[in-house]
Structure 1
Amino acid sequence: MRLVIDCFKLVKGKGKSIGIYNLAQSLVQHLTATNKSGEHCEEIIVLGNEYNRKDFDIPGIRFVLMKGNPLNKLTCIVWELFLVPGKARKYGADRILFPRGYRPLFYRGKDTVIIHDLIPFYYDKHFPGVLNRFENAYIMSRLKASMKHADRIITISEFSRKEIDAMCPGSGSRVNVIYNGLNKVQASEEKCALSPERPYIYATASKLPHKNAAGVLKTYDAYFHQTDNPARLVVVGIPGTEEFEISEEAAAYVTCYKYIERTEDMHSLLAGARAFLFLSLIEGFGFPPLEAMQLGVPVVSSDRTALAEVVGDAGLLTDPDNYAQTVECLNRVLEDEELCAGLIQKGYANVTRFDWGSRIAAYWEELSR
């Protein structure tokens, strides 16, 4: 088998999600590492660009530099709609893998798309107008067409599988759930210079409504006014609290970082937290709670969508719209040492479900069909 992987449109730090880029990079690395003797396929070919060459042009991979600018939207549309089939034929693809989830309009060979989530449809229903209407309509039409016509579909949670089946009835026999592999995260033993006075709660959010920064800050405001000695809050993903509903008194205890450049600093900041708060409204998978578990930080997580199956009983699950319930969860984590110790141990056990060894075996089995 000759496997071709379409990575032309992947540029780190650009586009919808850094998560898709990181998954594709890790997947290529692990596919290569487990195919050194050609036991799974004859050749792995990556169709890439100049921006991602340093990450995908690795030993064991035949990296082919594609012409065109992947940052140009028209170039990307023409590429994904019309040009990929010719490249697949040129390089003798027995199967082509699309990590971003979009297949070309006309392709008769074996292909596999990875559908990470159906969040564009969620925005169309719940937050119309937040995303560019024309761009989101195009994305939704492309996702629907890809799900309908792909030979095989990989998705990353049972929640997403059910969403796909609801949108494309009868697709179940073509869909395989393979949870994302989890890369190991490490934190420096030294206290991070970004850390506030302990104890503090660490939360991730963004200005995108589904990441629910508003809910995080409303929850903290409620917690702050019910507590004599409140823990501080660190929010990574927003520049400040000014655009959100929170009292001045509570806001004074909040530190925001829109972006932390050094991954080591971000992980060290997380590792020093007393609790990790994640109140996303929709996730196709949900890496952040698992990263907190790796670092031994108790998790309070939204119970929505895929998060319930990813977090399981290794964290405290809460309705992100129920601020009183979430405050109660935070208080339990902040005050109950025995509960914290138990959650930390359950977290360590939970993350083993997502080790790359088992994930890559499932990928090879699926791609060899």
Structure 2
Amino acid sequence: MNLVIDCFKLVKGAGKSIGIYNLAKSITGHLGVRAQKDTIIVLGNSYNKKDFDVPGVTFVEMKGNPLNKIYCILWELFLVPWYAKKYQADRVLFPRGFAPLRIAKKLASGMKRKIRDTVIINDLIPFYYDKHYPDIFNKLENAYIMNRLKASIKQADRIITISEYSREEILNKVPGCENKMTVIHPGLNDVSYTSLDIHSEKRENEKREYIIAMTSGLPHKNAAGILRAYEVYYEKAKERAAEPLDLVVIGIADTSPYTEMKKEVKAQVRCYKFFENFNEMCSIAAGGKVYLFLSYAEGFGFPPLESMQLGIPVVCSNRSSLPEVVGEAGILVNPDDAVAVAEALNEILTDKKKREGLIGKGYENIERFSWKTRTDLYWKELFQ
């Protein structure tokens, strides 16, 4: 059996989701280790070759520019089936969730050979933005993405999605596809790190104990909610005559676009927009006393699990897929209730037994997302 994985449009750092890129990379690498008689062919590009040209797979560097939107639309709608036929595919996996047009599949494969499509639907965030933040993204582009997602879900032979929450969201948008859909939680990659040089500039900044938070400038990541909750935590600590911990935020460059903070509060907040060195980011994150993640919408949500892997107790939003992912291994809160978030932070920071219990539950929770079991499930879905 030949499996073709369409990775042509995946470029690290381009587009809105690094999660899809990392998931496709992990699936390819882990399936490649198991591939023997079965053949895995990756249709990639010059940008992602270093990540997808891995043992056990045949990497084909496709012509064309994956950063050109017009070419990518042509690729997505029409070209993939022809290359699938060229490499004698029995099945094509689309990690980005977009399958080609049905007519293009029929013309390419002919009547004698059926090539089965499997799409991975990570989330339906475009629909969330269409409802809650319609002016954030280009309306025409977002409408195209929503239409293509629904069409791909309807026509795909099989659908993989990454959480029960995403499954329910898909069924709400495209009823009747439950019999061809399976839920496979992603595996958790290793986020361990080596100690940084003591003279690292960022480590020099983080000599005091701190709360660590992960967000971004996108509205659904709720940077404003994190900052409001910290301000409440700060004020309540001062009322108790306690010294509030600093806040370190990864994913934004400054607090000003999201809220106006009092000068004395803002002085204890440091923001890091981006880390080129992943080891450095993990080292900074691991130094936190508690991890704060207040996203409104996630198809899955890796950051809380990564913090558990680093031994940090978690305060997490109770929205979308996050209760499913975090379970009882973190404190779940309403992301709009700054007082409740502040109280949860204080509880972890002042109750040693609670803190140690959550750390232990975190280590237990991440065992559910081992790549060993995830690979077994992907192999069964794609090859058997």
TM-score for both structures, normalised by structure 2: 0.93
Aligned with 1:124 (options 113, 121, 130):
130
Aligned with 1:290 (options 281, 284, 305):
305
Pick which of 178-187 and 101-110 moved more.
101-110
Aligned with 2:255 (options 207, 222, 241):
241
| Corresponding residue number in structure 1 for 2:223 | 213
Deviation at 1:21, TM superposition (A): 0.9
Secondary structure of the residue aligned to 2:248 is: strand
Q: Does 1:138 align with 2:144?
A: yes
Matches within 5 A, 1:21-60: 21-35=21-35, 37-38=36-37, 41=38, 43-60=39-56
Letter of the structure 1 residue corresponding to residue 246 of structure 2: R
Pick which of 181-190 and 88-97 moved more.
181-190
| Corresponding residue number in structure 1 for 2:95 | 99
Secondary structure of the residue aligned to 1:113 is: strand
Aligned with 2:81 (options 78, 85, 94):
85
Deviation at 1:58, TM superposition (A): 2.1
Pick which of 10-19 and 195-204 moved more.
195-204
- Indicate conservation of the 8 Å contact 1:187/1:271, yes or no: no
Matches within 5 A, 1:1-369: 1-35=1-35, 37-38=36-37, 41=38, 43-106=39-102, 107-108=105-106, 109-189=115-195, 193-195=201-203, 196-228=206-238, 229-245=243-259, 246-369=261-384
Distance 2:320 2:291 in 1: 18
Identical residues among aligned pairs (%): 57
Q: Spell out, residue by residue over 1:75-119, the C-alpha distance to the aligned partner (whole angstroms, 9 max, x if none).
A: 100000011111111111100000000000122520100000000
Q: What is the RMSD of the two structures over their aligned residues, measured on CA atoms? A: 1.1
Pick which of 19-28 and 95-104 moved more.
19-28
TM-score for both structures, normalised by structure 1: 0.97
Letter of the structure 1 residue corresponding to residue 16 of structure 2: K
- Indicate conservation of the 8 Å contact 2:215/2:221, yes or no: yes
Distance 1:150 1:249 in 2: 55
Deviation at 1:187, TM superposition (A): 2.5
Letter of the structure 1 residue corresponding to residue 251 of structure 2: G
| Corresponding residue number in structure 1 for 2:112 | none
- Indicate conservation of the 8 Å contact 2:34/2:56, yes or no: no
Distance 1:296 1:68 in 2: 44
Distance 2:232 2:267 in 1: 14
Q: Spell out, residue by residue over 1:290-348, the C-alpha distance to the aligned partner (whole angstroms, 9 max, x if none).
A: 00000000000001000000000000000001111111100001111111111111000
Distance 1:143 1:27 in 2: 21
Distance 1:179 1:58 in 2: 23
What residue ranges of structure 1 are gaps of 5+ in the alignment? none
- Indicate conservation of the 8 Å contact 2:123/2:299, yes or no: yes
- Indicate conservation of the 8 Å contact 1:203/1:276, yes or no: yes
Deviation at 1:54, TM superposition (A): 1.4
Secondary structure of the residue aligned to 1:71 is: coil
Deviation at 1:240, TM superposition (A): 0.5
Distance 2:351 2:281 in 1: 26
Secondary structure of the residue aligned to 2:22 is: helix
